[in-house]
Structure 1
Amino acid sequence: MRLNPDEEIWERFKRGDEKAFSYIFDTYHLPLYEYGQRFTSDEFLVRDSIQDLFFELARKKDKLSSTDNILFYLLKSLRLKIFANLRKNNRKGETVLDDERLDEFRLSYTTEVDPEEKELRLDQLAQAINELPPRLKETIYLKFYKNLSNQEVAEVMQVNYQTVGNNVQKAINKLKELLDTTSESILLFFNSSFR
């Protein structure tokens, strides 16, 4: 049985293949940075968290579990690192951190789409999404923008599987209400706009 490309690259990396490690870093450091910035505007904290993550991966490569989705594995790990670094900085008095700040999640979409109708709808959707609570925004981002499964979203966010389904449903219902449209059109728009 042949491994999928992510499994193959990950296994090569775990065996010490430096080209595989370089590939993982080159492919995923920008998506990780983008995700990290949604939790904090502290650019240095995000960069340090990513650097910490990759140092730890390199140091513990022979002890890492297998994965068939590298992005999922890295997003989950980075989220933990960022929250740990935010808490550590809070203890040092460098940043003000409370429970609400840990639940902060900023989400915005650009509307660099040619047709005016789609641009207007995307603007309306972005405004409606920004009215959602942070946890719902993060769920929508991971589910539709990063195309993770409900189980993967649950693991990244450290919630149970059912919570993800509930959050998606709550978000869609709220967006439906805000945009005065159907659930199906919102899902269709997510699926066509953020792939």
Structure 2
Amino acid sequence: MHAEQHPKINATAWARLKAGDSYALGELYDAYVQLLYKFGKRHCQDEELLTDAIHDVFEDIWNYRATLSDVETSNIQFYLFKSLKTKLLKYLNRQARHTELTDNQEYLHEYVESAELFIVSQEIDRHQQHQLAQQIALLPKRQQEALILRFYDNLSYDEIAELMVLTRHSVYNLIYKALSQLRDNWVFDLIFLIFIVGFKNF
């Protein structure tokens, strides 16, 4: 299964949005709303709350458009992820539903299958995908989150560090330990290939 293509909004559309073009806001919404929903689902099981948070992210972008920075188009996804996570934390804490964001295991397998983990090999079958998903589900929650942000969401180590409120070195260690544990616990050779591919650009 191939990882889904991540949308990009060009610099012109972002500039139009800052200038007050409501159509540009619509383009941004259409391009990223599904990706934001899937990202939010990994942390919040309350669909109504998640939908409200996503709506508020775009509403804030529109209301404060004049003060938006000139975000690089490659960083818009990270900007939106960070904004949504901040909203969810604020809402969940305010409503005292949770003391921290939760991990929704129902969606883990979907993201694992779509991740770059499976792009590196066209030979892996459904049974092997299921085995790997089970092994990832046994990892500590922070390791799971770091893996998904890196291999599914294609975020850089610096972006993951900011999103998870960690140092870049801590993110590296999380992913290193996760992949090492997967390699040790799963005999299939794909794990070693993932280990090489995942860190060749570090």
The alpha-carbon distance between structure 1 residues 58 and 10, as it changes in their structure 2 partners (threshold 3 A), is same
- Looking at structure 1, the residues matched to 28 and 43 of structure 2 have their Cα atoms a distance apart, in angstroms, of 22
The worse-fitting range, judged by mean Cα deviation, of 175-184 and 72-81 is: 175-184
TM-score normalised by structure 2 residue count = 0.79
Please state how far the C-alpha of 1:145 moved relative to its aligned partner: 0.3
- Looking at structure 2, the residues matched to 173 and 72 of structure 1 have their Cα atoms a distance apart, in angstroms, of 27
Is 1:175 the counterpart of 2:193? The answer is: no
The C-alpha deviation readout for 1:105-137, integer Å capped at 9, x for no partner, is 542227599x88421221111111111111111
Instruction: Determine what percentage of the aligned residue pairs are the same residue.
Output: 33
What SS does the aligned partner of 1:141 have? Answer: helix
After superposition, residues 4-153 of structure 1 pair within 5 angstroms as 6-68=10-72, 69-90=75-96, 95=97, 97-98=98-99, 101-102=100-101, 104=103, 106=105, 107-109=108-110, 117-153=124-160
Which structure has the higher relative contact order (CA within 8 Å, separation 6+)? 2
TM-score normalised by structure 1 residue count = 0.81
Contact kept? 1:39, 1:105, Cα under 8 Å: yes
- Looking at structure 2, the residues matched to 134 and 8 of structure 1 have their Cα atoms a distance apart, in angstroms, of 38
Contact kept? 2:9, 2:31, Cα under 8 Å: no
Unaligned runs of 5+ residues in structure 2 are: 1-7
Please state how far the C-alpha of 1:58 moved relative to its aligned partner: 0.6
- Looking at structure 1, the residues matched to 50 and 198 of structure 2 have their Cα atoms a distance apart, in angstroms, of 27
Please state how far the C-alpha of 1:143 moved relative to its aligned partner: 0.5
Contact kept? 2:45, 2:104, Cα under 8 Å: no
- After the TM superposition, list the runs of 4 or more consecutive aligned residues in structure 1 that deviate by more than 6 angstroms: 188-191
Contact kept? 2:36, 2:54, Cα under 8 Å: yes
Contact kept? 1:105, 1:137, Cα under 8 Å: no
- Looking at structure 2, the residues matched to 180 and 36 of structure 1 have their Cα atoms a distance apart, in angstroms, of 33
Contact kept? 1:53, 1:81, Cα under 8 Å: yes
What SS does the aligned partner of 2:110 have? Answer: coil
Q: What residue is the counterpart of 1:186 in the other structure?
A: 194
RMSD of Structure 2 on Structure 1 (CA): 2.6
